[in-house]
Amino acid sequence: MRYDRAVNIEDLRAIAKRRLPRFVFEYLDGGAEDELTLARNRDAFARLNFRPRTLVDVARRDSSASLLGGRASMPAVVGPTGLNGLSWRDGDLALAKAAAKAGLPFAMSTVSMSFVEDIAREAPGRLWLQAYVFAERAVTDGILRRALAAGFECVVLTSDFPVAGKRERDLRTGLLPRQRFTLATKLDMLMHPRWLATVATRRPRFVNVERELGPGRDVNAFVGHGMFDPSFAWDDLKRFRDAWPRKLLLKGVLRADDAERALAAGVDGLVLSNHGGRQLDGAISGLDALPEVAQATGGRLPLLVDGGVRRGSDIAKAVALGAEGVLLGRAPVYGLAAGGEPGVAHALAILADEFDRTLALTGCAGVADLTPDLIIRS
């Protein structure tokens, strides 16, 4: 099947699975340990049912929304994902371009395989940067300075990564911890000559991290020896807030008390997230945390949700429960792996069509009509 014949995100996932070597697909598709949280992210949406309004004039519908003070064509962000260049050459740039053309913000990962300056130059749009706090704080600080100079409007600070989760699929293929691939993985690469010719000519590199480390430093050694800072805490967040002059989102919040502390620290919004099921297995979903956090924050902070979004109706469910929008993780990357930038555009078009259709079928003329009374839990 060609990417443009896909009728939903699951079709794109199937194409991606066929096109990619196993180690790349497992990285994209997998989660931590028994993948209970990975499954829970989808289950959380499946447990929500609509109570649609009837006989509502929905002839003129507006899917657009305000996201962090700016307009978006629908309440969604193309969220941060790592190693996208393994799915398609210059994958981060393809995601950013497709997001801009679709009228959506693009959140770039710190562990992107493209430079922040290249993304800003070649894909002008609403650009956000997802930031990890590295043990060598100077690396984080340097990337942030460059993002500020390049015009990124927002930093999405990840709080749920004091150490890496145990991603057993990646351990089996040899992608983790340091790209020491098994013989089976190497043979599998040879079985995908088209991927090998177009993608594998470039070794996966965290280019923004490499630039900050400087010449002579081995980025793999940096990754393998305590890359992330497990000491980063609330006082550090306040200093981070003081240092970054633009919008700041805190990603990884799943509790109301943490949301209240983040509000006191001066963040501009929260992303309710379990890192796509790739960190703590057994964690609740961002969607399940949403009602409690929304009640605690009382509309004082924009709330975004990620994890498990595969349908436009999922976006509607999150917004109805109090989210300003969602971050799209795997869904656009399945499109990327299936067809490059046009594949991403197709994935976003599928979600936009489904979201608009859900508005009509629930009796909503616009995003403001998505309210909690539309939702019942099974």
Q: What is the 3-state secondary structure (H, E, C) of 247-275?
A: EEEEEEECCHHHHHHHHHHCCCEEEECCH
Which pLDDT value is given to residue 95? 98
275 is annotated as an active-site residue: yes
Q: Which member of 192, 225, 275, 346 is catalytic?
A: 275
C-alpha atoms less than 13 angstroms from C-alpha of 134 in its C-beta half-sphere: 24
Q: What is the DSSP string of 15-43?
A: HHHHHS-HHHHHHHH--STT-HHHHHHHH
Cβ(202)–Cβ(36) below 8 Å: no
Q: Which of 1.10.287.3510, 3.90.1150.10, 3.40.50.1580, 3.20.20.70 is the CATH number of 3-377?
A: 3.20.20.70
CA distances from 170 to 28, 165, 185, 338 (A): 10, 11, 11, 21
Cβ(118)–Cβ(95) below 8 Å: no
For 68-81, the pLDDT digits (tens) are 999 999 999 999 99
C-alpha 298/C-alpha 280 separation (Å) is 27
Quote the radius of gyration of the chain (alpha carbons, Å).
20
C-alpha 263/C-alpha 257 separation (Å) is 10
For 217-247, the pLDDT digits (tens) are 877 667 655 688 999 999 999 999 999 999 9
Neighbour-count burial of 368, counting CB atoms closer than 10 A to its CB (0-12 exposed, 13-18 middle, 19+ buried):
exposed
Which pLDDT value is given to residue 224? 59
pLDDT band at 176 (very low <50, low <70, confident <90, very high): confident
Task: Give me the mean pLDDT over the 24-31 stretch.
Answer: 96
Which pLDDT value is given to residue 360? 98
For 93-144, the pLDDT digits (tens) are 999 999 999 999 999 999 999 999 999 999 989 999 999 999 899 999 999 9
Strand partners, 304: 271, 325
C-alpha 266/C-alpha 124 separation (Å) is 28
Which pLDDT value is given to residue 178? 67
Element (H, E) at 108: strand 106-108
C-alpha 63/C-alpha 365 separation (Å) is 8
Sign of CA dihedral 206, 209, 211, 214: negative
pTM for this predicted structure? 0.96
C-alpha 73/C-alpha 257 separation (Å) is 32
C-alpha 362/C-alpha 130 separation (Å) is 34
Which amino acid, 17? K
Strand partners, 328: 78
pLDDT at 349 over 80: yes
Q: Which two tokens stand for residue 173?
A: 């293929």
Task: Give me the mean pLDDT over the 190-199 stretch.
Answer: 85
